[in-house]
Structure 1
Amino acid sequence: MTKVSTRVPLSARGKDMTMFIYFISHIPATMLMDIVPLYPSFLAPLIQPLLEFQDYYVETFRDPFMGDRSLIWFNTFLHMEALIQLPFFFFAAWALYHNKRSIALWICVYSAHVITTVFPILTTLNLSKDSAFPFAVSEGHKLFLTCLYTPWILFPLWMLVECFQRVRSYEAEGVTKKKAH
């Protein structure tokens, strides 16, 4: 007898689809923008357009973090994005696509990690004196950058709450099953 799949398609799971799109969209964003400064120098001729785009971004939007390679704490965040987050994007997208319940706990961990990396960026941007930055950042640019970075704290916060609730419900489900036996 053929086993009939009871897997609910991703398209029928709105919240999972939203998270799936989030993780899939972060793969090119991370590889083509965020971690470009980490690529080895011998790749410079190949990634020249990416380097030029980063220069344009920094010049246009006055992002002091992407524009200052001397910020060790920020560069540490970029390394974590390359070594932890980028592989996780693939894993999370795969697990969400296949409706793996265990991904909820991993998304909680990821979300807490992202919140704790974006929060210092927003705090530094809005509470530091102008002299802390390598170049002048106007109040207008600070507002724009705050608006640019804020979704990267709010969306992970939503995922943290959503997935924490899932973990709790799976836990309660397991306790109920144990009591029934």
Structure 2
Amino acid sequence: MVIRILEIIYFLYFASHIPITLFIDFQALLPEHVYPQALKQLMRWYAAEFKDPMMLDPPVWFKSFILCEALVQLPFFPVAAYAFWKGGCKWIRTPAIVYSTHVATTLVPILSYVLLHQFPQAPHPGPQTMRERLTLVSIYAPYLIVPIMLLFTMLFSSTYTGASQGGRSKSKSKKVK
């Protein structure tokens, strides 16, 4: 039951990540004319409201993370969404481990930057107070927390490791005559 709840959370995470990546995250990479005015306004509102200058004027290292999101993660999102919607798909284990470790690794510098960098006030103001920094961290934190939960699920759940309740693999627990 707990695994099925986690699978639904992972499904929602991956399914929602597709439009977020295409319509929001890629704005930091692609030319401005690619997006309709409404999406550009949504991005400007988000950046102003949550003081996230990385999305309007991304540092090169941040662009490299978005490029990885485009080339590695985005193709994985529908595959993972399908696997977790269906549930119990053991074949997703290795790709999910690779995905979760990659994303968790990229979030460490992002969160460090948000917490420690001295952001300028202009042209795109970044967080100045600890409250503003923690608010922005709360936007990015699910992209660390869910992949870590996913990693632990893939590493320790018998549903995905193939281990039975007794700790033995199903294929090795054949009865000897």
What SS does the aligned partner of 1:117 have? helix
Matching of residues 8-157 of structure 1 within 5 Å: 13-44=4-35, 47-69=36-58, 71-99=59-87, 100-130=89-119, 135-139=125-129, 140-157=131-148
What SS does the aligned partner of 1:66 have? helix
Asked whether the equivalents of residues 104 and 166 of structure 1 are also in contact (C-alpha less than 8 Å), the reply is no
Q: Are residues 169 and 42 of structure 1, via their aligned partners in 2, closer, same or farther at CA, if it must alter by over 3 Å? A: closer
Q: Which amino acid letter does the alignment assign opposite residue 32 of structure 1? A: F
- Quote the offset at 1:135 in angstroms: 3.3
- Quote the offset at 1:132 in angstroms: 10
Q: Which amino acid letter does the alignment assign opposite residue 80 of structure 2? A: A
Matched, 1:173 2:169: yes
Q: Which amino acid letter does the alignment assign opposite residue 54 of structure 2? A: F
Q: Distance in 2 between matches of 1:110 and 1:129?
A: 30
Q: Distance in 2 between matches of 1:13 and 1:37?
A: 35
Q: Corresponding residue for 2:153?
A: 162
Asked whether the equivalents of residues 58 and 64 of structure 1 are also in contact (C-alpha less than 8 Å), the reply is yes
Structure-1-length-normalised TM-score: 0.79
Between stretches 56-65 and 107-116, larger displacement belongs to: 56-65
Q: Distance in 2 between matches of 1:125 and 1:136?
A: 9
Q: Distance in 1 between matches of 2:176 and 2:5?
A: 32
CA RMSD of aligned residues (A): 2.9
Q: Distance in 2 between matches of 1:162 and 1:132?
A: 42
- Quote the offset at 1:21 in angstroms: 1.3
Fraction of identical pairs, as percent: 32
Instruction: List gaps (5 residues or longer) in structure 1.
Output: 1-11
Between stretches 34-43 and 151-160, larger displacement belongs to: 34-43
Asked whether the equivalents of residues 34 and 78 of structure 1 are also in contact (C-alpha less than 8 Å), the reply is yes
Number of aligned residue pairs: 168
* 1:108-140, Cα deviation, whole Å (9 max, x unpaired): 111111101111011111122345996352213
Q: Which amino acid letter does the alignment assign opposite residue 155 of structure 1? A: V
